[in-house]
Structures are given as structure tokens and as C-alpha cells.
């Protein structure tokens, strides 16, 4: 059995981490390029689109700087390995540890996007329920600010973390709290959307005898992607407590996880657009069903990303574009239209 000393073990972890980061970053780069092409092609016509575009690029810029910094650090570690210039070079520099904590903002922003999407989708649900993930998001930001503040203060303070070991527990607890609250926020948001999908499918079944529609398929996609992100969150949290020789699993996985957190909103936006495109060949598409004015009152309204203009709560519920019709706005201004035809079920 091959055995490694401390320095060899840590170098092995760092190489594995940078390989994972590079793989995920390559996917991230491809997704941000596609998103840029799609959104700029549409002209970024609304303020919502411009804000989303700017936020996605801000997260990508942070991830890029972090990835480049890690590559440079690994390069000099390997150089020192062969030249033995610095026997302690396997220890990450203080500024990289600070930036590692700063990059946790990807979790906060991604959670913010998820919460915002939940409010848009479920605007007709209980405000008290919708406020729960908002509260967890705010508390999470306080944990994040604590971790960044303490880490930055120790970087400036003489002696750094070695001279102030008692603050290491604060940083560890704050970062663990960040991951735990991020997981809780996503579980809550995904659960709310799942309930919305259930009520929508139930109303479709009661009125029309079937449970699928373009809107329900989009909701299913959001739920599935949300569950996948929750699984990543669970693994991130659990990795803190899995000890490896000289390190924990989190030291290897977290640099990759923050990249995954950054690209998650982009992946969901593109998947939603792709799913919408599969339902129609045009940017605005219609799902026409037989519905009377009495039946329409029993169908769960639905709204995704606001369309060409910001929508109020009442506007997201019903947008009349013709006699007895209801519109459902999707990402990038796409729309599912619930139009009025015969009320007869035999015409389904």
C-alpha cells in the first residue's frame, strides 16, 4: 500500500480539487456563454433581464478569479515541491483563505434567485409561508458576513489565525451555518413550488381530466433541479464532518461546490428555455384547452419569470389577451396561454 507524508497528502488533495474545479468551471464557462448569447440576442429589454444578466456575470467573475488564484497557487506549490524553496508552501496563503470564504456569496445569491423565483411562481400563496425562506436567507447572510468579517480581520491581525485560534471556531461555525441555512432555504423553496405544482395538476385533472401542461412540465423541471441542488447541499454539509488524513472532505469538495452553486441558476434558466422551446417552435407559444368562464375560476394560475414588463401580483395571475384567456409567463418573456374555446369536455 502506498503511503504519503503530510506534504504529499495535502498536495494530492489540492490536485484533485483543482481538477474538479477545472471540470466544473469549463461547464460553467460554456453555460455563461450560451446565456449571454440568448439574453443579449433578446436585447435585455426589461430591467429584470438586465439585473439577472448582471448578477450571473458577477458570480461568474468571482468564480473565475477564484479558479485562476487556485491554479496559480497549485502551480507554485508544485514548483516548490521540486525546488524545495519553501517547505511550508503547501499551506494556502492567507488571502486565498479569505477569498475562499468570500466566494460563499455564490450560495447567498443563488438562494436569493431561488427565493425570488418562488415568490414569482407562488404569488397567490400565503405570504406567511413565502416569508419563511426569506427569513432563512437573511439569517444566512448574517452568518456569511460574520465568517467574512472574522476571516478578514484575522488576515490583517498580526500572527493571523495561528495567533488567534479561538476565532477559528467562529469561522467554522459560521461557514457551517451558511451551508446549513442554504440547504434549509432551498428545501423550503422547493417544497413551496412542489405544493404549487400539486395544486396546479389537481386543478387540471378536476377540470380537464388530464394532469400535464407546458406549465406543469416547467414546474416539474424546477422541482427536479431543486432536488438535485438540495442533494449537493446535503453533501456539502455532510462533507464538513467526514475526516480524511490531514483534512476533511469539505476541503476538497467545497471549492468545487461553490462553482456548482454559481452555475446552478444559469443551468435552470437555460433548461426552462429549452423545455419551453420543445413545446413550440416560436418564442411565444400557446397551450389551448377547452375551458369555460366557470371552469377557468378553478384552474390554478401560474407565473414564472416576469415577461416584457414587470408584473404585479394581480397581473401574474390573469393576463387577458382575448376573450376568456389566461396567460402564463415563462423565462425570457415566453408565455403559455390558456385560451378559451368550447366548454364541452367532449372536445378535449
Written as nine digits, the cell of 60 is 461568474
Residue 248 pLDDT? 86
Predicted confidence band of residue 183 (pLDDT cuts 50, 70, 90)? very high
pLDDT, position 346: 40
pLDDT in tens, 301-331: 444 444 443 333 333 333 434 433 333 334 3
Looking at beta carbons, which pairs linking 291-294 to residues 24 or more positions away fall under 8 Å? Answer: 291/207, 291/208, 291/324, 291/338, 291/339, 291/340, 291/341, 291/343, 292/324, 292/340, 292/343, 293/324, 293/340, 294/343
Residue-wise pLDDT for 16-41, tens only, equals 888 999 999 999 999 999 999 988 88
Question: What's the average model confidence in pLDDT over 235-251?
Answer: 87
Has residue 111 got a pLDDT over 80? yes
Give the model confidence (pLDDT) of 185-197 as tens digits.
999 999 999 998 8
Please give the average per-residue pLDDT across 69-74, as a whole number.
82
CA–CA distance, 92 with 80 (Å, rounded to integer): 13
Whether 336 has a pLDDT exceeding 80, the answer reads no
pLDDT at 122: 87
Kindly indicate the confidence band of residue 280, based on its pLDDT and cuts at 50, 70 and 90.
Answer: low
- The pLDDT, as a whole number, for residue 260 is 92
pLDDT of residue 53 exceeding 80, the answer is yes
Q: Give the pLDDT mean for 168-180.
A: 86
| Integer CA distances (angstroms), 188 to 71, 182, 195, 197, 265, in order | 36, 10, 11, 14, 17
What is the average pLDDT across 259-273?
89
Mean pLDDT, residues 63-88 taken together: 73
Mean pLDDT, the chain, as a whole number? 74
Tell me the average pLDDT across 118-124: 87
pLDDT at 227: 94
Count CA within 13 A, CB hemisphere, residue 110: 31
Q: How far is CA 285 from the centre of its chain?
A: 27
Contacts of 306 (CB under 8 A, 6+ apart): 46, 48, 120, 316, 329
Confidence category of residue 160, pLDDT binned at 50, 70, 90? low
Q: Cell 400539486 belongs to which residue?
A: 198
| pLDDT of 96 strictly over 90 | no
Per the CB < 8 A criterion, the answer to whether 193 and 144 are in contact is no
Q: What are phi and psi of 328, to 5 degrees?
A: -125, 115
Q: What does the pLDDT read at residue 128?
A: 92
Question: Which residues lie below 8 Å from residue 147, measured CB to CB, with a gap of 6+?
Answer: 101, 104, 170, 171, 174, 175, 178
Amino acid at each position: 500500500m502506498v503511503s504519503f507524508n503530510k506534504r504529499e497528502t495535502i498536495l494530492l488533495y489540492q490536485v484533485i480539487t483543482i481538477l474538479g474545479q477545472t471540470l466544473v468551471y469549463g461547464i460553467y464557462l460554456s453555460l455563461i456563454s450560451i446565456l449571454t448569447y440568448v439574453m443579449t440576442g433578446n436585447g435585455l429589454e426589461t430591467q429584470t433581464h438586465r439585473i439577472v444578466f448582471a448578477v450571473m456575470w458577477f458570480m461568474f467573475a468571482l468564480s473565475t478569479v477564484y479558479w485562476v488564484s487556485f491554479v496559480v497557487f497549485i502551480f507554485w506549490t508544485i514548483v516548490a515541491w521540486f525546488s524545495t524553496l519553501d517547505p511550508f508552501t503547501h499551506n494556502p496563503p492567507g488571502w486565498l483563505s479569505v477569498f475562499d470564504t468570500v466566494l460563499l456569496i455564490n450560495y447567498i445569491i443563488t438562494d436569493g434567485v431561488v427565493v425570488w423565483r418562488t415568490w414569482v411562481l407562488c404569488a397567490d400563496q400565503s405570504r406567511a409561508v413565502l416569508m419563511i425562506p426569506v427569513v432563512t436567507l437573511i439569517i444566512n447572510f448574517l452568518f456569511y458576513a460574520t465568517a467574512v468579517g472574522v476571516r478578514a480581520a484575522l488576515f490583517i491581525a498580526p500572527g493571523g489565525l495561528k495567533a488567534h485560534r479561538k476565532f477559528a471556531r467562529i469561522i467554522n461555525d459560521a461557514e457551517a451555518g451558511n451551508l446549513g441555512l442554504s440547504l434549509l432555504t432551498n428545501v423550503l423553496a422547493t417544497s413551496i413550488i412542489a405544493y404549487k405544482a400539486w395544486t396546479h395538476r389537481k386543478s387540471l385533472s378536476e377540470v380537464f381530466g388530464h394532469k400535464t401542461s407546458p406549465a406543469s412540465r416547467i414546474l416539474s423541471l424546477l422541482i427536479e433541479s431543486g432536488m438535485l441542488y438540495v442533494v449537493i447541499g446535503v453533501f456539502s454539509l455532510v462533507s464538513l464532518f467526514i475526516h480524511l488524513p490531514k483534512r476533511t472532505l469539505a476541503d476538497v469538495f467545497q471549492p468545487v461546490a461553490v462553482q456548482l452553486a454559481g452555475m446552478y441558476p444559469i443551468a435552470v434558466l437555460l433548461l426552462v428555455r429549452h423545455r419551453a422551446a420543445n413545446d413550440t417552435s416560436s418564442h411565444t407559444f400557446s397551450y389551448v384547452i377547452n375551458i369555460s368562464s366557470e371552469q377557468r375560476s378553478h384552474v390554478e394560475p401560474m407565473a414564472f419569470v416576469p415577461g416584457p414588463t414587470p408584473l404585479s401580483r394581480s397581473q401574474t395571475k390573469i393576463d387577458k389577451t382575448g376573450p376568456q384567456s389566461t396567460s402564463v409567463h415563462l423565462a425570457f418573456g415566453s408565455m403559455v396561454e390558456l385560451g378559451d374555446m368550447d366548454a364541452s369536455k367532449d372536445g378535449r
